[in-house]
């Protein structure tokens, strides 16, 4: 999809129509060159006023998704091929290396805070212990695709600086700090872009995002990193290689650990891991 410049949509109903039409364009239901229905027809279809439809259409134009053509109407624009990051669920660390080499980072926040709530519980920290909190945006071809919020125990984070984190992947800094990563637990879900995230990822508020949470542990079982990551689904994919397992009575699909990723043209984007 085209690089969206955070279109401004006034009103909940206008925003809902904007998102519906945007999704239709993203899915291919409305292809490049297709003409959108007129304002009156859209207003009747969605049971809103023409003013509401006009606001949604203007937001689509601001996003570069449609254009007005004299004598034709509003048509869907051809979208340049955007670089897409593909994350493999297996081969976590090797893929993090690939991602770091293929993308760059923008550091938005670096500070020390007291660990509270879920972060303290999942990292196994005591009351009053502090963590280093950072917010980073990863970019591919200067276009943001991920918004990363990380918390690292203070005893580890003191081994690197803000400047280090701005130019070096976090997993590399953890290793440099003497951490031996042993395992991680990871969950994937969905979320909607809030004001700050939408601004950082150059999206409209309320846009759908891929949400990932990961907690990394060292060989002693201590938590060394808590990651909350949000990804643009038009620039990020998650891939899992599967193999059949079990006997004939109970056949099932099982993740294929260590399987190398299939080749893909460079123009389609780099394959990478989610975060770090």
Q: Any residues with CB less than 8 A from the CB of 102 and at least 6 apart, and which? A: 85, 140, 270, 272
Place of tokens 């872009």: 193
Distance CA 19, CA 204 (A): 9
Q: What is the mean pLDDT of each run of 10 residues along the chain (276 residues)?
A: 47 85 80 90 92 91 87 83 50 51 83 94 95 94 92 97 92 92 91 91 87 94 96 83 79 64 32 45
Place of tokens 């919020």: 149
Helix-then-strand count for the chain, H and E: 9, 13
* DSSP character at residue 182: E
Report the Cα 24 to chain-centroid distance in Å.
20
Are the C-beta atoms of residues 30 and 76 closer than 8 Å to each other?
Answer: yes
| pLDDT value for 266 | 28
Are the C-beta atoms of residues 261 and 239 closer than 8 Å to each other?
Answer: yes
Each residue of 50-72: pLDDT tens digit? Answer: 999 999 999 898 888 899 888 88
Q: Where are the alpha helices (DSSP H) in the chain?
A: 12-27, 39-46, 50-62, 92-102, 117-123, 154-157, 162-167, 170-176, 195-201
* DSSP character at residue 260: P
Distance CA 7, CA 221 (A): 45
Distance CA 113, CA 192 (A): 26
Q: Largest Cα–Cα distance of the chain, in whole Å?
A: 70
The two structure tokens encoding residue 10:
């006034």
Q: Any residues with CB less than 8 A from the CB of 215 and at least 6 apart, and which? A: 122, 123, 184, 185, 186, 223, 225, 226, 227
| pLDDT value for 179 | 94
* DSSP character at residue 160: S
Are the C-beta atoms of residues 120 and 129 closer than 8 Å to each other?
Answer: yes
Each residue of 178-202: pLDDT tens digit? Answer: 999 999 998 999 998 888 999 999 8
Pairing state between β 208-218 and 130-140? unpaired
12-76: what CATH class? mainly alpha
| CATH 1.10.1040.10 at 85-272, yes or no | no
Distance CA 227, CA 216 (A): 8
| pLDDT value for 151 | 97
Annotated domain spans of the chain: 12-76, 85-272
Q: pTM for the full model?
A: 0.65
Distance CA 163, CA 102 (A): 20
């Amino acid at each position: 999809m085209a690089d969206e410049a955070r279109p401004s949509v006034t009103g909940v109903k206008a925003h809902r129509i904007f998102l519906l039409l945007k999704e239709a364009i993203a899915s291919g239901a409305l292809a490049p060159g297709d003409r959108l229905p007129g304002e009156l027809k859209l207003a009747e279809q969605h049971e809103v006023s023409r003013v509401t439809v006009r606001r949604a259409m203007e937001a689509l134009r601001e996003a570069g998704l449609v254009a007005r053509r004299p004598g034709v109407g509003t048509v869907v624009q051809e979208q340049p091929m955007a670089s897409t990051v593909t994350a493999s669920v297996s081969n976590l660390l090797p893929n993090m290396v690939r991602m770091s080499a293929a993308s760059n980072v923008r550091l938005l926040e670096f500070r020390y805070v007291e660990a509270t709530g879920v972060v303290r519980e999942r990292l196994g920290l005591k009351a009053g212990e502090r963590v280093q909190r950072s917010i980073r945006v990863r970019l591919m071809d200067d276009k943001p695709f991920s918004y990363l919020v990380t918390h690292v125990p203070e005893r580890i984070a003191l081994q690197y600086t803000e400047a280090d984190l701005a130019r070096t992947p976090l997993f590399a800094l953890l290793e440099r700090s003497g951490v031996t990563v042993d395992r991680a637990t990871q969950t994937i879900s969905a979320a909607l872009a809030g004001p700050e995230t939408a601004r950082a990822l150059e999206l409209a508020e309320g846009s759908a995002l891929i949400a990932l949470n990961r907690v990394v542990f060292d060989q002693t079982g201590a938590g060394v990193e808590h990651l909350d990551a949000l990804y643009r689904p038009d620039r990020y994919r998650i891939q899992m290689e599967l193999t059949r397992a079990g006997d004939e009575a109970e056949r099932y699909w099982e993740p294929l650990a260590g399987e190398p990723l299939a080749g893909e043209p460079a123009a389609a984007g780099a394959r990478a891991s989610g975060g770090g």
